[in-house]
Structure 1
Amino acid sequence: MEQKRPLAIVVPGGSFEHLSQRESEPVALAFNNEGFNSVVMEYNLVHDEGKIYPDAGLDVLSTVKFFRDHAEEYNLDPERILTIGFSAGGHVVSVANNMATSPLYQKKYGFEKDDVLPNKTILGYPLINIEKIGFPIPEDQKNKMPEEKDLLDSALGVTRETPNTFIFQAWDDPVVLIGNSIEYIGALNKNKVPTEVHLFNHGYHGFSLARHNVQTKGREWQENPHAAHWFNLAMEWLKSEWGE
């Protein structure tokens, strides 16, 4: 019998204005090569109708639930579902985890935590607090941002039920300031959520896999052999977490 495969749900960044192609299919294929099934999830952006939240968070939860409900059909292990979010996608993923574990959102949207909560989460240079970005939010986009504090700052919603988490970021990130990861790490530590963290000295922002094949022409800094170690480190972490 063929072994059930884990699932990676990839949530790209893009400043809520677009979905980064470099953080989409190349990442999904990298997980495929490690024995995962993988999907890339799209979500509401600033130019779409309606606000970004709660829709973006609910999109993650419904994706988890769909594949957990159809695990047999897709040859998946329903207890090895991973969400991975980059930059703004890290905000979407971390907010979704908060919503999944919140009795308020469970009641409001009619879901059960065990149906929608991923088993593990990876956050790459994640936006955690929308107010901690390295540039001002344009006035015409502010009305698309959430008003609820736990949706603005996902560190506020961390609980002991938050999935075990792997975080990586570059210390010199000028776009999503390093304080985002530090704030979230503090919340995970306070709530005793097992966490692994890798902060690279250099890497700027948006380096994805940091490999040559995902480098944008003219942006040589996106290829960074040292920062590229995050992927293999994440694979080692997952194997340890899942007892492989």
Structure 2
Amino acid sequence: MASKNRRQFLKDSSLLVGALGLASLPATAAPETQNPKPKVVRKTINLWADKSPNNQVHEKFGRPRLELFIPEGTTTQKRAAIVVCPGGGYRNLAPHEGQPLAELFAAQGIVGAVLTYHISPEKHTLPYADACRAIRLLRNQATELNIDAARIGIMGFSAGGHLAATVATQPELFKDPQDNLAGKVSARPDRVILGYPVISFQEFAHKGSAEALLGKDADEKLLQQFSNDQQVTAQNPPAFLFHTADDAGVPVENSLRFAAACSKNKVPFALHVYPHGRHGVGMALDNPALKSWTTLLVDWLAEWSQPQKG
């Protein structure tokens, strides 16, 4: 896109979202989120049976699985849970975008669940199948895990944000034949949280993520299918997005377009755009102006995440 047209798009998007009171461009940092190491019980849930063809063991990351961070202590109240999808361009899994967020959630009484999912060169249906399977397993084991099956969210950063957004907008896109819960247990998340996400595989695309997921010669129909700003409907779960305006890795237009699609379909959303910050900041604990995003997220989750009586 020509620079003039890009500037006009940014201007129009800022006017649209800002007029709705849903954009945040803070001049100063909000109060810091305190994130002491919470006391947790850790539990691993393997996504696929040992002999399943989907149980491919990556030499660096191991088998596809969920690592649960369950707040310590017994309670009769059911907790919310959030699946966390680290970024990495569908070629890697960034550790700073996984466990630290699960621990943040555990400190708020939420079960954090870090997803290890298939990455390139595996076919594009497998990361999606992993994420859907993760949500279905949490729902299916909700009683055992003391989780509220109606309060399971998904979060993702960068390419992990693309995966989270794909599941949030298209929870029935594929039914993997290895998933015995498909068609029986819903994979639709109840909240979606997107940090500097890859959203479009067309205009403003992060080409590396698109090629890693779909290959270099993906046809236009497939690129459109995985451009999640075009897949938002009124059934989309409420969304929280944060991005930086000068992100050189994934253009901020990705978040702006997703937010605009939510607005068009009357889906509740919160969009926070910070003026400056590199791509891949994670919790941004080394950036005084940017790290306030976790405080905003905790506030946004507060009512939804309160433990409920079983």
> TM-score scaled by structure 1?
0.83
- 1:124-135 to structure 2, matched below 5 A, reads 124-132=195-203
CA–CA distance in structure 2, aligned partners of residues 14 and 114 of structure 1: 29
Q: 1:191 aligns with which of 256, 259, 265?
A: 265
Instruction: Quote the RMSD (CA, aligned, Å).
Output: 2.8
In structure 2, the partner of 1:83 is 154
CA–CA distance in structure 2, aligned partners of residues 141 and 106 of structure 1: 21
Q: 1:231 aligns with which of 286, 289, 294?
A: 294
CA separation of 1:73 and 1:141: change in aligned 2, threshold 3 A: closer
In structure 1, the partner of 2:128 is 57
The one-letter amino acid paired with 1:87 is S
More helix by percentage: 1
Structure 2 gaps of 5+ residues are: 1-74
In structure 2, the partner of 1:74 is 145
CA separation of 1:119 and 1:27: change in aligned 2, threshold 3 A: same
In structure 2, the partner of 1:15 is 89
Q: 1:173 aligns with which of 241, 247, 250?
A: 247
In structure 2, the partner of 1:40 is 114
The one-letter amino acid paired with 2:267 is V
CA separation of 1:142 and 1:54: change in aligned 2, threshold 3 A: closer
> TM-score scaled by structure 2?
0.66
**SS of alignment partner, residue 40 of structure 1:** strand
Q: CA deviation at 1:206?
A: 0.7
The one-letter amino acid paired with 2:87 is G
Native 8 Å contact 1:106 1:113 kept in 2: no
CA–CA distance in structure 2, aligned partners of residues 29 and 105 of structure 1: 31
CA separation of 1:195 and 1:164: change in aligned 2, threshold 3 A: same
CA separation of 1:92 and 1:153: change in aligned 2, threshold 3 A: same
Q: CA deviation at 1:225?
A: 2.0
Aligned residues between the structures = 228
Native 8 Å contact 1:57 1:99 kept in 2: no
Native 8 Å contact 1:99 1:106 kept in 2: no
The one-letter amino acid paired with 2:112 is S
- 1:145-224 to structure 2, matched below 5 A, reads 147=219, 148-211=222-285, 223-224=286-287
Structure 1 gaps of 5+ residues are: 212-222
**SS of alignment partner, residue 59 of structure 1:** helix
CA–CA distance in structure 2, aligned partners of residues 135 and 39 of structure 1: 26
